[in-house]
Structure 1
Amino acid sequence: MTAYAHHSPQRAAGLTTVVRARLNRPPPPLPRADGALLKAAGAILLVAAAATAYALYGHRLTTAPVTQFQPARVGEVSLLVPQDLAGAEHEDSERVVGMTRLRLDWPSFGPVTAQSRRKLLVTLSPPDKVNEPATQLSVYARFLTPTVWSNPGGLVVRGFRKGSPYEGDELYVSVPDGRGFAARCPVNTGPAPLDELCRVTFRHRGLDVNIRFPRAVIADWELMVGGVRRTIDGMMR
């Protein structure tokens, strides 16, 4: 009993040392075959992740269109016109020197695409006195009928007399005097003419701006005019 009691603390200390050594011992290395298998699985996962990322984003990166610009000068105003707003290439030969034409999607004011339901045809030209609001209204006034009726969008409508240069059109003007907006539209005789083009011309920052637009959007004339103004502002240099 005495010898056993004498040696038990030493045995306990030795056992503790062995346990500690085993706890701190690093795990045994994986067999070579298992390690190779894990490496192969990791490589497969990396390749799969790369393929997924390319499928989701690679196409966008490689095919995203780069906006190109073309310089233009209209009167005293210099412009930098996005190519995709300037119309198709086959229309270049129809451009008049000193003018710039734009084709805008409605209502986004972006490029016209195959999905565009309506479009705005905009012509920018040097300022001309005949396009000043007061001059336009004085010319129209000589041919208007006395009948006046209201239209959505806060506009009033006047007809033109038969035999006048504007027979077959109606004049849509903003109140009270038409200086904010005055557009001529074909007389609406049924559903089909709704997509016939109205015409409005106004002055903006040294340019005469003519817009041809579908009659169906005339109630949104303030949105249309404001959007075209902002588009032009973005092109000025």
Structure 2
Amino acid sequence: MGPALSAATAGLDRDGARPGRAFPERHGARHAAPRALVHLDRPLMLGAVLGLAGALALTGLAAAWLARPSKPAGPVVVGMLAPRPVVLPAAWFVRPGAGAETGGDRIDLAIPWSDLTGGALPGLMRVTATRAPETEAPLSPARRYARFLTAEAQPLPEGLMRRRFRAGTPFEGEDLYLAEGEGGRFAARCATGPSPEPEAACLSEVRIGALSLRLRFAAERLPSWSAGLAGLERLFGSEP
């Protein structure tokens, strides 16, 4: 290799290794992007990350504020169902604001047993209150269900009588519990097997004053039927 060719080759090597060039200029290639641009992107990326973190923090604060325990609402006055206004805690209403519907003809409540009985019983009694129909006194539960019942009757220590429904009737799989003979004061139908809603395994319908009450509660609360009924009478009775 002659001196001139060696010098040209050395120049080519220097041009190819020069920073910022992908190929020698004599090949017509464009310059590579300056490294300064890469350094300019880093502050932008850092700012974006910090902005995202701040947005997430604000979102968490907003969620915590929305999930904060609400202040206990005051009592609700229901004045259209009964002859006299009924004052009930707002926490009992199943549908928030339902008590304010003065023109409504129904209220749905979930009343703690402890509030009804004054004891420490767990669970809730679900109550649907409507105006009682202006009709003659209905048949007693014992007479109403007579054609569906077996002849078996079992007295219980809580003042109840248990009757069994015959197989093949619409009430198969339930037992009927009657208080005071024919159940004129209290009666309930309760599932005999596992219930999809154990807290609503028993159904009872009672009339207190001008109101008809449909009750749902757990079978374990049957022994407390008298105390629960007395609590409902205090709440909805015609006398304050």
Q: Deviations over 1:29-78 (max 9, x none)?
A: xxxxxxxxxxxxxxxxxxxxxxxxxxxxxxxxxx9735142434226564
Contact 2:195–2:201 (CA<8 Å) still a contact in 1? no
Normalising by structure 1, we get a TM-score of: 0.58
Q: Quick one: distance in 1 between partners of 2:206 and 2:195?
A: 28
Q: Quick one: distance in 2 between partners of 1:84 and 1:196?
A: 19
Aligned in 2, Cα 1:228/1:139: closer, same or farther, shift over 3 Å? Answer: same
Query: What amino acid maps onto 1:168 in structure 2?
Result: G
Aligned in 2, Cα 1:233/1:135: closer, same or farther, shift over 3 Å? Answer: closer
The match for 1:121 is: 126
Aligned positions of 1:4-153 closer than 5 A: 65-74=72-81, 78-89=85-96, 97-109=104-116, 117-128=122-133, 132=137, 134-153=139-158
Aligned in 2, Cα 1:190/1:151: closer, same or farther, shift over 3 Å? Answer: farther
Contact 1:186–1:196 (CA<8 Å) still a contact in 2? no
Q: Quick one: distance in 2 between partners of 1:129 and 1:165?
A: 27
The match for 1:204 is: 208
User: Taking CA–CA contacts closer than 8 Å with sequence separation of 6 or more, which of the two structures ends up with the larger relative contact order?
Assistant: 1
Aligned in 2, Cα 1:168/1:97: closer, same or farther, shift over 3 Å? Answer: farther
Q: Quick one: distance in 2 between partners of 1:108 and 1:90?
A: 21
Query: What amino acid maps onto 1:178 in structure 2?
Result: G
* Runs of 5+ consecutive residues of structure 2 not aligned to the other structure: 1-69
The match for 1:186 is: 191
Query: What amino acid maps onto 1:220 in structure 2?
Result: S
Residues 124-133 or 210-219, more deviating: 124-133
Q: Quick one: distance in 2 between partners of 1:121 and 1:221?
A: 14
Normalising by structure 2, we get a TM-score of: 0.57
Query: Paired residue for 2:170, among 162, 165, 169?
Result: 165
